Amino acid sequence: MITSSATALFSKRLFCFCFLLISCISCISREKLVYLQGQSARLNAPAVNNNRPPEYKLQVNDILAVNVTSSNAEIAKEFNQQGQNNMRNINPAALYVSGYSIGPAGNITLPTIGAVEVVGLTVDEARAAIQQKVDEYLTSGTVLVALVSFKISVLGEVRNPGYYYVYNDQVTIFEALSMASDVANLGDRKHVNLVRQVPGGNESVFLDLTKADLLTSKYYYLQPNDMLYVPPLRAKSNDFNISNFGIVTSVVSVISTTLSVLVLTGVITRPE
């Protein structure tokens, strides 16, 4: 006969073993969670990281908002799309209606002015090129240009994956992750994949968010149509994490209950 003291000892050991197993596999070290490790910044003595955002060169399929203003509003209307009143009224749903898409030849086609080649130019350079065309027709016209198709995608182990429009001239990788409500606890911060469109194709690079030298990387600033993918940590890939703790404890509880019933029914005897 098996004594009840032996079964109780077995039950306790089983529970401890399962708890330790879950803890060892599920716990994520601080090293894998903390951003920008190794910074030399100290209190009241900030570290300076020299990294200027690169100027984005316009590509085919980018969309520009172009608005021509003048003291003579009636004349200015001839240079704008019908119904276009203010660039600030532009939203993602209206991009293809009120914006100008850069075609395969690298041009946008404006009312009255016609085709203007802008591919390969910065936004400021595109504005200057359009301004030069407007000056041939209008002496007091001012051209406003904005890139309205600045969109980034954030996928994988983030809390709110999706695509996000950027209403600014620049955005950093951490700002993009903030839009997606940050990386989830089980996201791999050491191997974040950035896919970027370049003329003739795309390029892919892996970034380590836990290293401070990311602040000086040329990939710290994102560009339109960039895609970030955060892969899962190995713990989640193995599908064995802290969420399984309830299952294990339930199994241990069933075993303990069964042993108790066996003691009460006399199958297992108590020690004398």
User: For the chain, which residues make up each domain, given as ranges?
Assistant: 4-28+236-264, 30-54+150-232, 63-147
pLDDT of residue 97: 75
pLDDT means per 10 residues in the chain (272 residues)?
A: 54 55 55 76 69 91 92 86 58 74 95 95 97 91 92 97 91 96 94 93 95 93 96 66 54 63 56 52
pLDDT for the residue 177: 97
Helix axes 4-26, 245-264, angle to 10 degrees: 180
The CA distance from 199 to 56, in Å, is 12
Domain 63-147 part of CATH 3.40.605.10:
no
Q: Is the pTM of this model over 0.85?
A: no
- Looking at residue 237, its pLDDT comes to 47
Q: What is the pLDDT of residue 254?
A: 64
Q: What is the pLDDT of residue 251?
A: 59
pLDDT value, residue 264:
58
Q: Where are the beta strands (DSSP E) in the chain?
A: 63-69, 100-101, 107-110, 114-117, 142-147, 151-156, 162-165, 171-172, 192-198, 201-207, 221-222, 227-230
pLDDT at 240: 45
Instruction: Say which residue the tokens 């301004």 belong to.
Output: 131
**Residue 121: CB atoms within 10 Å:** 19
Helices (runs of H) and strands (runs of E) counted in the chain: 7, 12
Domain topology for 30-54+150-232: Outer membrane lipoprotein wza fold like (3.10.560)
